[in-house]
Structure 1
């Protein structure tokens, strides 16, 4: 390779076979130029083997080329991809990029990588600029403990982004590579795919779900391990946050604000409608999560006014309450909402446990409405809500504050007479009414003050104006447990010794 023209031709063949350009600095001196070419090939997966093939094309049978091949086979492992496979995969990636990746899909690429390498796999490199860089890093990784190449898992996930002929070509490439790797077609079909192609009938206006789980910390009962997922409609969840440091409840609003305002996967989600779900233990169910104050783009607002905010039972999702009756009642609610019933209880202790369980176990019973909050504490105390969870009811609504319980009966009657599947949005409307009522109260008090100043101390402030104080509006104190039995948030456990 003393002649520069020979080296130029070799580089041209290499870049064609690799499917991308080589990052190398050219030198006038032949030795330095060849050294730079070898370094660039060492940095590219399979590059040295492809360089050897290119050199053999021009110098087949040469003694020095045979010595070079023996050296490469001794020092370097066989590349995962053959030259043609790598070239075809690069072409598929280029076709996928021409189709365009949404901001959500781009932001989710590290998740696809993490699923491919597993929980103890090496972290993704800091200089990753796109799909091709991830593929190059995966190509140099050994097989997983289940005998599957991480690259195959990643490409199988990646096929969920593709459309039309590109999706078909990704599938065919995956099948061929799996067969060459000794992986059966049945085993390939069982590989999980995080992102499936969107079904043509998928409603683009359907909800995405931001799920936030607060798991009690065993060492400190006042702190919680917080995990957050984004679950686009009809697709598996994407983990957003999994912190091993337990947090006090007071720090939750800041975390929620960061997810909504600064996490690109949430901001650029494909589904514009977003429902926020808090998966909570019993001791947190009566906390006012919907009243969290968050500031986004300088505008302060209450979480439950902008988004439907619902609660989910951690005890049920994690196996502390029966699933079969829950799923049966949920199917009944979805199939026949008009025929579903919600039992109303005005005061705690109105039913003994056996009677209430029997009432709520009726097939048509799907919910419970309480004018009082559930009992506090995770000490095993049995209260009405716990009996309802054991009976499998997916819906519960209650008033957190006794001061607003007088209006609860009227408001909840209107809620329950409407379509039950629309409860999260109906409850959000009541929370909005509460904020509007607060604004009306402030304006009325200001107007009354102005009238008092104008006509003297004997004036009747705000005469003729009916004012309903915010703390008396049930919308500020309404909690909704709405447990969707069709969606099970994934369990993400922090790694613990000896992992």
Structure 2
């Protein structure tokens, strides 16, 4: 305090007011400061307020140094600060950017920064033995300052970085992308880039734990003896648990019996009706020649009310051929694990017309770039066979967990914009985002029966390599 008082820019009221104004501009937000008519008490209040916010005192030194650079009192004060106060984790620019990102998040999704959520996230990243939260959860800047002071954790990831990753995993759209980009930049500067994927995986898993989901998986396997007949199986799987077999038919069925099977499973099977989680995703495991079947538009009738399947639950398709061929599993797992660890960094390989790339070229593009986890086509792939296109085959063999296309074909520029809008909401959220799109499409169809909304024509392959139906799970040693 004595060293600070020796500086004229601090000692005189007018100069001190200017320093406070410049300090707040550098911080990017007002400093909670109670002013006092007494100069000495006013300086004490300034010091106390700066010490309450990580980086604020160092920012004050930067401001004051503009007035007293090279002076003996300034050098003495700088040496004292360097000795007593550790260097802050964030640079001023990083702190301002984070403040702006969180204000945007609060405006778009206020429930994610509610006091109870912030308190829970604080204890999640600091652990049960972490220091008490000496800040009001309503004061998000105060919580961030507290986290910035905690620079060490057991897994080498600073709690502040883990906190931002948790928020990004819970958010959607541009705020999530920007938060994860900010965290990636900080991790790179701190030399923690290798630790970040593990932090992101934990954040994604924590987010999933907060939003449990069940999966109804229905498989159609071609019957070799009878063309156009299929052996059907169905499982119910709750997230993180083994699947429960619901149905296994040894008698081959025609594909047009699928609506009856789906209706029975959804409305009459007691395990599905009484599932432990309300959220349910429908996954159809199909041979390659059936992947383009518009199952989201499948109509079922329950108690006299007919509706499309795709407006009630997320509906995705999965590749039976990839599940059954172990040789495809290695690139598939690599791609899925990359996506799981970097959900906001997913890149799309756009194919806007058939034959745009040769099969080998497309396979090489997808295989050689880890972030290319999605293939998007503005046209439907031709059925499997001698005259089939190579796009779908290349995507499945290269391990792309996400493949999407418009079943009737679409103007390439329009399709790219529409599907990119879906991806901006988060690659791992695509099944739910597409569900919303399909509901919007039906409302648009009521207003314009001749419309061509993408939600009526989009097929989505969404293949989770960590979650396979029970027959495909590798045998493990007994517990």
SS at match of 1:377: coil
Aligned to 1:258: 264
SS at match of 1:480: strand
The alignment of Structure 1 onto Structure 2 pairs a total of residues equal to 267
Aligned to 2:434: 427
SS at match of 1:339: coil
Of 338-347 and 398-407, the range deviating more from structure 2: 398-407
Task: Work out whether 1:240 is the aligned partner of 2:235.
Answer: no
**C-alpha contact (below 8 Å) 1:225/1:245 kept by paired residues:** yes
For 1:331-389, what per-residue CA distance to the aligned partner results, in whole angstroms no more than 9, with x for missing partners?
Answer: 11111122221111110100012211111011111010001112203559452011011
Shift of the 433–404 alpha-carbon distance from structure 1 to 2, 3 Å rule, reads farther
Offset of residue 205 of structure 1: 3.7
Aligned pairs for 1:141-180 (under 5 A) are: none
Could you state the TM-score of these two structures normalised by the residue count of structure 1?
Answer: 0.51
Q: 1:383 pairs with 384, 387, 390, which one?
A: 390
Q: 1:304 pairs with 303, 310, 315, which one?
A: 310
Task: Work out whether 1:269 is the aligned partner of 2:269.
Answer: no
Aligned to 1:214: 220
Aligned to 2:379: 372
1:206 & 1:426 partners in 2: Cα distance?
17
1:477 & 1:320 partners in 2: Cα distance?
31
For 1:182-216, what per-residue CA distance to the aligned partner results, in whole angstroms no more than 9, with x for missing partners?
Answer: xxxxxxxxxxxxxxxxx999837411000000000
Q: 1:228 pairs with 224, 234, 245, which one?
A: 234
1:473 & 1:207 partners in 2: Cα distance?
28
1:338 & 1:201 partners in 2: Cα distance?
14
Could you state the TM-score of these two structures normalised by the residue count of structure 2?
Answer: 0.53
1:382 & 1:441 partners in 2: Cα distance?
34
Offset of residue 404 of structure 1: 7.4
Offset of residue 290 of structure 1: 0.7
Task: Work out whether 1:483 is the aligned partner of 2:472.
Answer: no
Bigger Rg over Cα: 1
**C-alpha contact (below 8 Å) 1:233/1:271 kept by paired residues:** no
1:221 & 1:439 partners in 2: Cα distance?
39
Q: 1:335 pairs with 310, 317, 341, which one?
A: 341
Aligned to 1:344: 350
1:379 & 1:276 partners in 2: Cα distance?
31
2:207 & 2:292 partners in 1: Cα distance?
38
For 1:411-458, what per-residue CA distance to the aligned partner results, in whole angstroms no more than 9, with x for missing partners?
Answer: 11211222100000111111111110111126xxxxxxxxxxxxxxxx
2:327 & 2:406 partners in 1: Cα distance?
23
**C-alpha contact (below 8 Å) 1:204/1:271 kept by paired residues:** no
1:377 & 1:330 partners in 2: Cα distance?
24
1:294 & 1:359 partners in 2: Cα distance?
40
**C-alpha contact (below 8 Å) 1:229/1:239 kept by paired residues:** yes
Gaps of 5+ in 1: 1-198, 443-468, 493-499
Alpha-carbon RMSD: 2.2
Offset of residue 408 of structure 1: 2.2
Gaps of 5+ in 2: 1-204, 473-479
1:281 & 1:274 partners in 2: Cα distance?
23
